[in-house]
Amino acid sequence: MPALGTLSGGATGVAGLLRLRRAAPAQAVATPAPFHAARCAAAAAAVVPDGGQLVWGRQLRPVLLLPAAGGLLPPPSSSQAVRRQALRPPSAATSGEAKPAGFLEKYPALITGFFFFMWYFLNVIFNILNKKIYNYFPYPYFVSVIHLLVGVVYCLVSWTVGLPKRAPINSTLLKLLFPVALCHALGHVTSNVSFAAVAVSFAHTIKALEPFFNAAATQFVLGQQVPLPLWLSLAPVVLGVSMASLTELSFNWTGFINAMISNISFTYRSIYSKKAMTDMDSTNVYAYISIIALIVCIPPAVIIEGPTLLQHGFNDAIAKVGLTKFVSDLFFVGLFYHLYNQVATNTLERVAPLTHAVGNVLKRVFVIGFSIIVFGNKITTQTGIGTCIAIAGVAIYSYIKAKIEEEKRAKSA
């Protein structure tokens, strides 16, 4: 018992108890009964106060001193009980020893890098699979509904198993979230119409103009002053998109206009999101927005594409790729759409705004690059230069905006 040696009076108490236990039989033979009893009582009174402190865990007290065995000592007093309790071995919770760091705490940068990788990977896979579906099933309104439907089913299953626990919602929250969901639905549908009409790389180049619409809405809708450096950083974005559009081989007005509408819709989604700030976690907020957006997207899909789908749309797709591949493609594209949005949210919660901005720009670069490689899209030299200028402009804008926001937070702190 190594702990005993560190305790005050420990060695003396144990030695006394052992001497008492060895001496008791001999004294019982050599000493008359009256004197025996008196000497045992005196010995116990002299030894037990020290030895009694050490009784924890294993029983060290001699049998003749136990009250249950008819011994000579009375039950321990409250002070003795407290002293015994104080000498119990310290638990891990009270010892002050830090728990060993887990893998997540030991390598946070590695975990954040994994989140970024999954964000990019899921986004690239979604865009490629989405475009492949449009090559044999050009019905973006219906596919948009499938995206949201699979995501809603995923959320409902997650709520059912408690991962995460569903947050309660009321009419006030619904009123706050409905404009956000409406803009989300409109932006999602028009993005898909653009993806179906033009090359993925060109659609993402047009969507690089989203910061321009954000700045314009902040200045003229919200009435908040946008610093001059931000406006100047948007000039190469507009120039690059214009250069890419003029010589884009897959250019058509349907794709261009819908991509622009998508930019405007997502800009207003950001505005309404700021007004609809709640204490609800981001996972539940996105789940409720997806449910409302799904309800909003179903009527136009039925009205615009429903008759054509019933006449020959489904049959044509099944004839081209087969029923199994058609259904599995729709399921997986919806799953990847939901997962990449969810992982993006989780990733952005782990990093600073500047890292977020850089990561978002790199994501667009990855999507454009991989789409060109996978689909073999031919681009002109001017389109390539324009795309690079636009992406560089977005990077500069994102960097300046993040630095301004960090300075604001530093001043407010």
Every domain of the chain and the residues it spans: 108-408
d(CA 187, CA 405) in angstroms, rounded, equals 26
Nearby residues of 265 by Cβ (< 8 Å), 6 or more positions away: 183, 184, 186, 187, 190
Alpha helices in 63-107 (DSSP H): 78-86, 103-106
Q: Most distant CA pair in the chain: distance in Å? A: 121
Structure tokens at 95: 């010892």
**Shortest CA distance to 51 belongs to which of 22, 24, 87, 90?**
87
What averages of pLDDT result for each successive group of 10 residues across the chain (413 residues)?
41 37 43 48 45 39 43 51 49 52 71 87 94 96 97 95 89 91 95 93 87 85 86 90 84 92 90 75 87 96 96 95 96 95 79 69 83 84 90 87 83 78
Rounded CA-CA distance 349/332 in Å is 25
Residue 71 confidence (pLDDT): 46
Do the beta carbons of residue 111 and residue 104 sit within 8 Å? yes
Distance CA 155, CA 294 (A): 13
pLDDT of residue 304: 96
Spatial distance between the Cα atoms of 294 and 283, rounded to a whole number of angstroms: 17
CA distances from 310 to 71, 159, 300 (A): 96, 34, 15
Place of tokens 């615009």: 304
The DSSP call for residue 312 is I
Amino acid identity of residue 177, one-letter, is: L
pLDDT given for residue 207 in this prediction: 85
Residue 292, pLDDT score? 96
User: Which of 342, 370, 347 lies closest to 357 in space, CA to CA?
Assistant: 347
Q: Which amino acid is at 88?
A: R
Q: Give the model's pLDDT for residue 192.
A: 96
Each residue of 53-65: b (16+ CB within 10 Å) or e? bbbeeeebbbebb
User: Is the CB of residue 389 less than 8 Å from the CB of residue 240?
Assistant: yes
